Structure 1
Amino acid sequence: MTHVPPPAEELRLLDAELWQLDNRRAQLLARRAWLVAALQAVPQPPRAPAPHAVPARPETDAPRVQNVLLLLGGVLLTVAAMVFTLVSWGHLGIAGRAAVLGVLTLGVLAAPVPLLRRGLRSTAESVAGLGLALTALDAYALHETVFAGTDGTAYAAASTATLAVLWAAYGLLPRTSTLRLPVPAAVAAAQLPLLLWALAAETGPYGCAAALLVTAGLDTVVALRPTPSTPTPVRVTAAVGAYGMGGWGILTAGLLSWTAAGPSAAARAAALLLLAAGITVGASWRLAMQGATGGVTSADGADVDGATTGEAARAGAGESEAGSNTAAVGAAWRGGAGGRAPSGRVAGPGEDGVAVGHAAFGALLLVLAGGGLLRAVLPGDWTVPGYLACGVALLAALRGPLPTAVRRGFVRASGVAQAVAAVCALPLVVVALLGPLGWAREAWSGVPSDARAAVTVHTPWPAFPTQVLLAPVVVAVVLALLVRDATWRPRALTGATVLAWATVMTIPSAFQLPYLVALLVPGLLTAAALWAAASRPHPWIALAVGTSVPLVFLALPSQPATLAVLSALTALFAAASLRPRLTPVTAPTALVHATALACAIGAAAGWAPQHTALLVLAVPTAAALLAARLGDPRATVPVEASGIAAAVLAIGLAVPDRPMLALVLALCGVLAAGTAVRPDRRPVGYAAAALFVLAAWVRLAAWGVGTVEAYTLPVTVPALVVGAMRRRRDPQASSWTAYGPGLASTLLPSLVAAWADPHWVRPLLLAAAALLTTLLGARHRLQAPLVLGGSVLVLDALHELAPYLVQLTGALPRWVPFALAGLLLLTLGATYERRLSQARQLRDFLGGMH
């Protein structure tokens, strides 16, 4: 609901807004007056532009030119002062030096006052910058004369601190408070004193890191004060210093924590990281409160909407206690930006996102601090569990009085820590799951000594302690117990299940358990996953299939183990296929395992591959029968695909033996023909015909038959029968579709063979067959038999009569062919009309055929 403030608070809000408007209006009026004065001081005489001339466009404006000139002037004066101080200093006495430095510095620092009074703000800024540079040169000059014997680093620390104070005081004076350079310069100079003091005192890396972090903390305080007394340039400078010095300090503290040699060093590094975490989390808290209150403050720093920082914190605490802590985990991951503020204002994505990011980074620093301390106390193998424990402990923030953005940051940091810890266990899991694949080249070579030897046949075991396996277990428990959000709950349970499964699959090899345990664990997991999949298929059915694959390869070292595992898996998945919800996955998996079992049985019995192919054909037979009984297309297609794969494997096994290959092809054709009986699988009949033809061809090749017709007639006869049946069902079907393929499959190859045959038997038989085909086509008025038979008959006759025609041509005089051609032309010309009539009749006759 929208927050409506009381009248007094609303009045304060309006006063603050009017004060800001008046201040901005005064600034704009002052700027306008200066612009008017500048334009009146330099009158521009009017000039008549040339005809059709385009006025030249200036490449820059007057204020930019002015700023560049002032900047160059200030730089040149600063360089001159440096040269004077460094080179010409020795030519003056002590009194002269003091007089020159004092007069020059005071004069330059006092010059901006009249310049500001006259409205020359930019000039005043340049002169003020020169004055700041002179003060730094004064500090150097004092060290070279008065404090020449002091330590340079200590003097630099003191001088930078003094300069920061003097510059800040100079920038806050009433007459120079409008200058924008002195206070940011003071903030920049304030970055160095603590670090220089730590270096001068030789405090070592711990002291330097502490100095960097304290400096970053002070910068954070300055950067997060959105009040009129802290202008934006000051806040930007402080923010840059906070990120720079803080990042340097955090990196140093992290390296010290990782390389700590004992508990004392680890404790000091942890203290530094805790300091950095406190600064970062405090910044996040402040940003969250600013987002909640709208970030509007009055001149004295109080929140104008009436909600003080303490009240906002109490509102955030009440909001934290209002909801369920366990459900907040999913909400924290889901709501990265745009949370509802307690005052009714919706925090912008930028504000909320920055606060969440700072909180998450600070929480990760807490993990590094706690984990580094535990790493120094516990044995080295417990490093990952130590950091993981600290990451899980961050979830306690769900019960604390923290703003929503801070809680989200802590939850996300906990998730990052848990994910990194779980990834540390990934090498062990990968080797445990994929290592058994190496037994594919070492099948039945001998039982390994233990579970680790079973997974490292061709892969070395990673040099990781077994304690890292605690990480996926802990993450799984956290996901299962703490995520209660309705949207994220199913995903969390799936992730927890997968993590627990991966851990259990890795335990036998990680602890070098006996080889029998390495077989029993995935076998029991497969059975348990199938049992659980009966009530909730996802993700149990995938885990069951995924577990069975490494189990099969784990069983390859031993022949009895291979047969037992494949038999058990075939039975388990076949039994699970009785449930319709699981059939689309379990039935094909059972067929795959059955195929592997058939190959293993054949190899164990010492059969040749071509004889094993007959045993493998039992799988596509079972697949065809099962597919005919299934009514769900989702299950039918995978089952048929598994059967086809098994049939292809059987054909491949039978390739070395042609007679066995012909038998296997014929049996596959029988299975395809049986499948084609189903109304929805009619097109499979074409595959059945192709398999029968291939089987016949392979058998003929095995017998050594080289006659072309022996290979073509087995195609022609069934094709003609099918064509006749089709013509009987559809009398309007074209003869080319019904009889063309069958006739062409024999006539055309026989014609090619006849042209290359030196004997007379084949051409004579081909001519007789072509003549018979032509007569049948003419009798039944069918176009395809008539054209194909007639064409083959003519070509066959030309081939056989060609020698005689050649002889006849050589015996006749040369003028006879030309005379015959002329006589033919005369005859055709004389009977042209009759021939046209006959051509029309022939066309009509052929057109009337089918």
Structure 2
Amino acid sequence: MENAPPPAEELRLIDRELAQLDARRALLLARRGWLLQTIRAAAAAPADPARTARPDAETSPPSAQNVLLTLGGILLAVAAIAFTLVSWGHLGIGGRALVLGAVTVTALATPALLLRRGLVSTAESVAALGLLLTVLDAYALHRVAFPGTHPGTYAAVASGVLAALWAGYGPALGTLHLPVPAAVVAAQFPLPLWALAAGSSLWVTAWATLATAALDVAIALAAKRTDVRVLGILGAVTTGGWSLLTGGRLSVSAHSPSLAEEPALLLLAAAGLALCAAWRAPASAVATAAVAGLASVAGVGGVLRAALPGEWAVPAYLLCAIVLLAAVRTGAPHGVRTGLAYASGAVHAASAIWAAPVVILTLLRPAAVLEDVWSGVPAQDAALWGTVAAPVVAATVAVVLRAAPRLLPALDLPRTTADCAALALAWSAAVAVPTALSLSYAPTLVLQLLTATAALALAVRPPRTAEATGTAGTAEAAATPGASGTPGTPPGAFAGIALACGLASGTSAAVLGLATRPATFAVLGMLVAVNVAAALLGRGLLRAVVACGAVVGTAGLVAAAAAAAGLPAHQVALALLAVPAAAALLGARLGRHPVALPVEATAAVAGLLAIVLAVPHPPTLALVLALAGVIAAGTSVRAERRPVAGYLAAVLFVAATWVRLAASGVEWPEAYTLPVTVPALAVGALRRRRDPQASSWSAYGPGLTATLVPSLFAAWGDTHWLRPLLLGVAALAVTLAGARLRLQAPLVLGGLTLALDTLHELAPYVVQVVDALPRWLPPALAGLLLLAVGATYEQRLRDARRLRDGLGRMR
């Protein structure tokens, strides 16, 4: 009897068998292809017994040859030096000089023969030996023929002669590479050594090194070989840099214009040399032209500095940098103009940095008022040295930056960047005026208020610039009509800097206003009005920031009014609660407006300050906490604030209850907390019945916490057994109820209370047991515990995850 499967089942079996056959066939085909490829590769590669029998050479013949030639040349050089400087048999210095001269001629002539035979590397080694021998010949010649000549003068002449000899010797032989670079190195010494030997002044030595730098520049520009060009550049940087540093030092130390003229000529000559190099070498034109620009500013500015009072030294250099900008409009190559512009910009930046300490001093000076608020007008310090010129410098740099993109388009300076920097510097100039002129209290305060107002006005209405974009990005600014300062545009970089400047000036003015009571109210009132106006007119992030500033100012006004009324600090806290209350009402009016959340958060900080002020007076602290809880509860009515404000209100109410009980000296807090807990739990149960998805923390958490936490604190300070026993029984009941009903809040709160209560009761017995145990037993038990935990680590993790999942499934 045949049991044939149904057609559908049989078709499925056949398809499965075919799929297995296809997979097996593909595997066999792949294996076959690999085997064929391996056989063909083995047949195409003939065996090389010599290659397989001999290991690869670690060095190639040319490299080994170079090592041998180098070592040979070094040994011969050491022998020649020892022969010349020490002795050789009975020969005197004259005899040694003759022998050395003959060897030198032989060494210099041998490379020609070697080059004819194609031995280039050997010829280079012998030529290097010959160059060293010429140095030794010069030494021997000085000892034999010119013993009375000054060593410095002879060294200068000898280095010049050797440089000329080596420069001609290399090209004469054609293919030798070492003589010409050696000649460039030797050419660095004749002029400086001559100046030092002649006992010349530092100024003359600087001119000698500058002339050497000019020779190096000529070599670098004319050389066709890379090594010669690099040596020329290094020589020019070294000798020219030393000349520039010397000229700058002499210029700064000059006390009169006549003394500053000589270093100015040196610096201008160095600038001309660098400018010529920049003109002829476009690859390094920017850096070289920048050096030329800085040298010219240092030279001319040094003369002006010596002719002006000390505090105007920086403005003198700044004036030269401004004049240097005129070169940007000339027909010089682009690299030269760019380098000169960088040099001028560096001087402008250094000048602005020089003025910064005066600005910082002006902003931080009002901090001294905080030591004694409302103690009277503070005494003004004398003007610092150089502060009169500081606002002039800042304002000048601001004007130059503002005009540079328009007057000097070749600078490629973004207009928005220039406007932002100009704004910051103009604000710095205005801030530095009171310190620079030693203004009295009232003018200083008025100027700071005007500065803050002007900065906020620019933040609200930034100037229209073609490149201005909002903080939200270029794409958003391009998509928004009038994105460069018109209403509806997020504040860009310019508006952000203006806002920062306004806030800095406003903060400084507010602190300075604390010196007198009338000034406090006037300054804070004006700042609140300005911030409110900016919030009404501004947009985006700017509106939120100034709105928060208005809240801070309002809180200051409320605190100042309460203090002026003679209220103690804990009662000032009650007055401060008006700020978060008003913010909550305003937030309800604004709804989901972007400004609402920052305003309410800032007001919440004022509420936190109120709590801090009330801490020394517990009864007032309880009242402050309760009122803050009322404000939070009112805020939680709004759906968008409910998740945070609801929990905050519960915490504040419970904290107010605890503080009130502690302040009243209540020994049995349950008499006050249970009447609150019972209806709270009933309300929670009713809410859970109507909304099964409601969390047990929101339904039962406040009610349970209102009794368990105060009772736990009381139990820890109670020496009797009744309260801990009753609390433990109640906590056990709550824990079991939470486990039975699968409610997270009762389970966690009851379990923690029971654990802490048990720990409190068992602590004395644990201490007694520990004292009775041997000292070695606790460490041993701890070690056994660690071993047990380690052995069952995975199981413990699994149990912890199961417990976490179980709690997570509870409501």
Q: Secondary structure at the match of 1:634?
A: coil
Q: Is the 8 A contact 2:356 2:428 kept in 1?
A: no
Shift of 1:725: 4.3
Which one of the candidate residues 629, 637, 641 is aligned to 1:669? 629
Shift of 1:82: 3.9
Match of 1:394 in 2: 324
CA distance in 2, matches of 1:201, 1:150: 12
Match of 1:64 in 2: 63
Which one of the candidate residues 504, 507, 512 is aligned to 1:554? 512
Q: Is the 8 A contact 1:735 1:783 kept in 2?
A: no
**Against the structure 1 CA distance between its residues 405 and 607, is the aligned structure 2 distance closer, same or farther, given a 3 Å change threshold?**
same
Which one of the candidate residues 407, 413, 419 is aligned to 2:349? 419
The C-alpha deviation readout for 1:235-269, integer Å capped at 9, x for no partner, is 23322322222222222222222222433332211
Which one of the candidate residues 148, 152, 177 is aligned to 1:180? 177
Match of 1:597 in 2: 557
Q: How does 1:605-684 map to 2 (within 5 A)?
A: 605-631=565-591, 633-683=593-643, 684=645
Match of 1:698 in 2: 659
The alignment status of 1:147 with 2:141, answered yes or no, reads: no
CA distance in 2, matches of 1:391, 1:86: 56
Match of 1:168 in 2: 167
The C-alpha deviation readout for 1:146-199, integer Å capped at 9, x for no partner, is 3333333222222222222222222222xx121112222222221111122222
Q: Is the 8 A contact 2:84 2:97 kept in 1?
A: no
Q: Secondary structure at the match of 2:536?
A: coil
Shift of 1:476: 0.8
**Against the structure 1 CA distance between its residues 516 and 707, is the aligned structure 2 distance closer, same or farther, given a 3 Å change threshold?**
same
Shift of 1:142: 2.9
**Against the structure 1 CA distance between its residues 598 and 48, is the aligned structure 2 distance closer, same or farther, given a 3 Å change threshold?**
closer
CA distance in 1, matches of 2:88, 2:741: 123
**Against the structure 1 CA distance between its residues 87 and 386, is the aligned structure 2 distance closer, same or farther, given a 3 Å change threshold?**
same
CA distance in 1, matches of 2:253, 2:723: 98
Shift of 1:528: 2.3
Shift of 1:532: 3.1
Match of 1:220 in 2: 217
Shift of 1:655: 2.7
The C-alpha deviation readout for 1:689-720, integer Å capped at 9, x for no partner, is 33333334434444433323234235424523
Q: Is the 8 A contact 1:77 1:130 kept in 2?
A: yes
Match of 1:235 in 2: 229
Match of 1:159 in 2: 158
Q: Is the 8 A contact 2:654 2:705 kept in 1?
A: no
CA distance in 2, matches of 1:573, 1:412: 40
**Against the structure 1 CA distance between its residues 436 and 737, is the aligned structure 2 distance closer, same or farther, given a 3 Å change threshold?**
closer
CA distance in 1, matches of 2:728, 2:320: 92
CA distance in 2, matches of 1:65, 1:533: 73
Q: How does 1:486-505 map to 2 (within 5 A)?
A: 488-505=414-431
Shift of 1:57: 4.8
Specify the code of the residue in structure 1 equivalent to 2:310: G
Q: How does 1:179-328 map to 2 (within 5 A)?
A: 179-227=176-224, 231-288=225-282
CA distance in 1, matches of 2:400, 2:236: 35
The alignment status of 1:125 with 2:124, answered yes or no, reads: yes
CA distance in 2, matches of 1:596, 1:98: 95
Shift of 1:501: 0.9
CA distance in 2, matches of 1:585, 1:131: 79
CA distance in 2, matches of 1:411, 1:708: 79
Which one of the candidate residues 709, 724, 733 is aligned to 2:670? 709
Match of 1:573 in 2: 531
Q: Secondary structure at the match of 1:607?
A: coil
Specify the code of the residue in structure 2 equivalent to 1:569: L
**Against the structure 1 CA distance between its residues 782 and 276, is the aligned structure 2 distance closer, same or farther, given a 3 Å change threshold?**
closer
Specify the code of the residue in structure 1 equivalent to 2:298: L
Seq. identity, %: 51
CA distance in 2, matches of 1:766, 1:116: 107
Whose relative contact order is higher, 1 or 2, with alpha carbons under 8 Å and at least 6 apart?
Answer: 1
CA distance in 2, matches of 1:182, 1:550: 70
Moved more, 515-524 or 374-383: 374-383
Specify the code of the residue in structure 1 equivalent to 2:272: G
Q: How does 1:442-453 map to 2 (within 5 A)?
A: 442-450=372-380, 452=381
Q: How does 1:799-810 map to 2 (within 5 A)?
A: none
Q: Secondary structure at the match of 1:412?
A: helix
Q: Is the 8 A contact 2:654 2:702 kept in 1?
A: no
Shift of 1:212: 0.8
**Against the structure 1 CA distance between its residues 163 and 598, is the aligned structure 2 distance closer, same or farther, given a 3 Å change threshold?**
same
Match of 1:821 in 2: none
Specify the code of the residue in structure 2 equivalent to 1:566: L
The C-alpha deviation readout for 1:717-760, integer Å capped at 9, x for no partner, is 45235324424533687989856874686589889999999999
Q: Secondary structure at the match of 1:111?
A: helix
Specify the code of the residue in structure 2 equivalent to 1:131: G
Q: Secondary structure at the match of 1:707?
A: coil
TM-score (norm 2): 0.73
**Against the structure 1 CA distance between its residues 646 and 80, is the aligned structure 2 distance closer, same or farther, given a 3 Å change threshold?**
closer
**Against the structure 1 CA distance between its residues 602 and 741, is the aligned structure 2 distance closer, same or farther, given a 3 Å change threshold?**
closer
Match of 2:683 in 1: 722
Q: Is the 8 A contact 1:697 1:711 kept in 2?
A: no
CA distance in 1, matches of 2:629, 2:530: 30
CA distance in 2, matches of 1:751, 1:95: 109
Shift of 1:519: 0.7
**Against the structure 1 CA distance between its residues 532 and 108, is the aligned structure 2 distance closer, same or farther, given a 3 Å change threshold?**
closer
The C-alpha deviation readout for 1:447-495, integer Å capped at 9, x for no partner, is 1233x47xxxxxxx75544223322212111111112579822222121
CA distance in 1, matches of 2:235, 2:725: 102
Shift of 1:566: 1.8
Match of 1:584 in 2: 544
Q: How does 1:498-513 map to 2 (within 5 A)?
A: 498-513=424-439
Q: Is the 8 A contact 1:555 1:565 kept in 2?
A: yes
CA distance in 1, matches of 2:97, 2:379: 90
CA distance in 1, matches of 2:559, 2:712: 46
The alignment status of 1:482 with 2:482, answered yes or no, reads: no
Any unmatched runs of 5+ in structure 2? Answer: 1-47, 463-490, 755-810
Shift of 1:408: 1.4
Shift of 1:272: 1.6
Which structure is larger by alpha-carbon Rg, 1 or 2?
A: 1
**Against the structure 1 CA distance between its residues 89 and 209, is the aligned structure 2 distance closer, same or farther, given a 3 Å change threshold?**
farther
**Against the structure 1 CA distance between its residues 659 and 758, is the aligned structure 2 distance closer, same or farther, given a 3 Å change threshold?**
closer
Specify the code of the residue in structure 2 equivalent to 1:237: L
Specify the code of the residue in structure 2 equivalent to 1:380: G
The C-alpha deviation readout for 1:431-455, integer Å capped at 9, x for no partner, is 11112223212222231233x47xx
Match of 1:823 in 2: none
CA distance in 1, matches of 2:721, 2:142: 123
**Against the structure 1 CA distance between its residues 258 and 56, is the aligned structure 2 distance closer, same or farther, given a 3 Å change threshold?**
farther
Specify the code of the residue in structure 1 equivalent to 2:432: T
**Against the structure 1 CA distance between its residues 359 and 718, is the aligned structure 2 distance closer, same or farther, given a 3 Å change threshold?**
farther
**Against the structure 1 CA distance between its residues 642 and 667, is the aligned structure 2 distance closer, same or farther, given a 3 Å change threshold?**
same
Pairwise CA RMSD of aligned residues? Answer: 4.0
The alignment status of 1:470 with 2:392, answered yes or no, reads: yes
**Against the structure 1 CA distance between its residues 765 and 151, is the aligned structure 2 distance closer, same or farther, given a 3 Å change threshold?**
closer
CA distance in 1, matches of 2:89, 2:560: 100
Shift of 1:143: 2.5
Q: Is the 8 A contact 2:311 2:385 kept in 1?
A: no
Q: Is the 8 A contact 1:735 1:782 kept in 2?
A: no
Specify the code of the residue in structure 2 equivalent to 1:359: A
CA distance in 2, matches of 1:766, 1:250: 87
Shift of 1:389: 1.6
CA distance in 1, matches of 2:148, 2:84: 19
**Against the structure 1 CA distance between its residues 521 and 743, is the aligned structure 2 distance closer, same or farther, given a 3 Å change threshold?**
closer
